[in-house]
Amino acid sequence: MPLSSWLFGEFSPGGTILACLDGATPVNVGLPQDRYLHDDTDALSFLWQLARGIDDQIGSPGTTTITLQRNRRIHIDVPSSVGLFTITWGANTDVRDALGFTGNLSGARTYTATGISNRLWCPGLTEISDARLGRQGTPHYDTQVGGGGSFVKPVMTTHNYRIKNSLEWRNVINTAAASRVWSTEIGGEYYAFWRDVMVTGGQWTHYRATDNDESSIVNVGLSSANRRGPYVWIPRSGAVQFDYNRSISNVEARSDVKIPCMQVAEL
């Protein structure tokens, strides 16, 4: 089974969507705030929290499942005993896009997204890190050094420190990095994740060495032992721009992606 990094971005859409069983009156489902798209801790997972919200509104406690498959697609399911159900996104097209769907859902009890979430990035590779592999990062102190000349002992004052890292993936296939047309990138590419999570200051988590198989509809298994972060991106000074780095040995076919980042507090 191929292993890959999985990055999950912060998602706080707000507002509501409409959900109902077939033939019933649609009801508003409040959308979770301050969650990651997915997480091994249910309370931090937007997918898990959204499923519970739908349950509460359509009167089927504990029956709705919204899962993420190893092929990066999101799957929504209610048991046959519950019946067919409908979801209408309304003005919340950002939620629709973040789940990988392209329109309202109706006439079935299971739905699988055709697209990939823009709050998810899975390069199909495991990372190379500046820190020791598997560590959160390395400490960086804001130490100020002062003192006189000659043999006077310097005075060192430290106020704070950060845990910083840099994660790199080499020879990422371009369909998972960046295409030739920016406007077509709605999910699955690093550029889409960078644009909709990192540039907005959103935080994200990194799951190391996790199963990825584009032909598998088995649910991806997230382990707390493989979870790193949460992080935020550290941009270069000056204008914020997307760094496109060609893989020298695979010109225009593959790209190298490197993300400088620092650890931040949990949501």
Q: Average of pLDDT values for 22-35? A: 84
Q: How many domains does the chain have?
A: 2
Instruction: Determine whether 201 is exposed, middle or buried from the number of CB atoms within 10 Å of its CB (0-12, 13-18, 19+).
Output: exposed
**145 and 227 fall within a common domain:** yes
**106 and 171 fall within a common domain:** no
**130 and 110 fall within a common domain:** no
Tokens at 162, concatenated: 């950060």
**131 and 153 fall within a common domain:** yes
For residue 183, pLDDT beyond 80: no
Q: How confident is the model at residue 242 (pLDDT cuts 50, 70, 90)?
A: confident
Q: How confident is the model at residue 182 (pLDDT cuts 50, 70, 90)?
A: low
For residue 164, pLDDT beyond 90: yes
**44 and 110 fall within a common domain:** yes
Q: Average of pLDDT values for 33-54? A: 94
| 185 vs 195, higher pLDDT | 195
For residue 44, pLDDT beyond 60: yes
**105 and 224 fall within a common domain:** no
Of 119, 146, 172, the domain-final residue = 119
Q: Which residue shows structure tokens 């798209």?
A: 37
What type of residue sits at position 218?
V
CB atoms within 10 A of CB 174: 18
Output the pLDDT for position 184: 61
Of 119, 147, 172, the domain-final residue = 119
Of 104, 119, 134, the domain-final residue = 119
Tokens at 63, concatenated: 């029956």
Q: Average of pLDDT values for 13-22? A: 83
For residue 56, pLDDT beyond 90: no
- For residue 161, the enclosing domain spans 121-263
Output the pLDDT for position 61: 67
Output the pLDDT for position 128: 93
**83 and 131 fall within a common domain:** no
pTM tops 0.85: yes
**97 and 129 fall within a common domain:** no
Q: Average of pLDDT values for 184-207? A: 89
Average pLDDT, the chain: 88
**How far, CA to CA in Å, does 155 sit from each of 149, 151, 161, 174?**
12, 12, 18, 50
Residues comprising the chain, all counted: 267
Output the pLDDT for position 181: 57
**95 and 131 fall within a common domain:** no
For the chain, what is the total number of helices (H) and then of strands (E)? 3, 19
CB-based contacts of 248, cutoff 8 Å, min separation 6: none
**151 and 113 fall within a common domain:** no
**55 and 158 fall within a common domain:** no
In the beta sheet, which residues pair with residue 120?
8
**232 and 197 fall within a common domain:** yes
Output the pLDDT for position 239: 80
CB atoms within 10 A of CB 29: 20
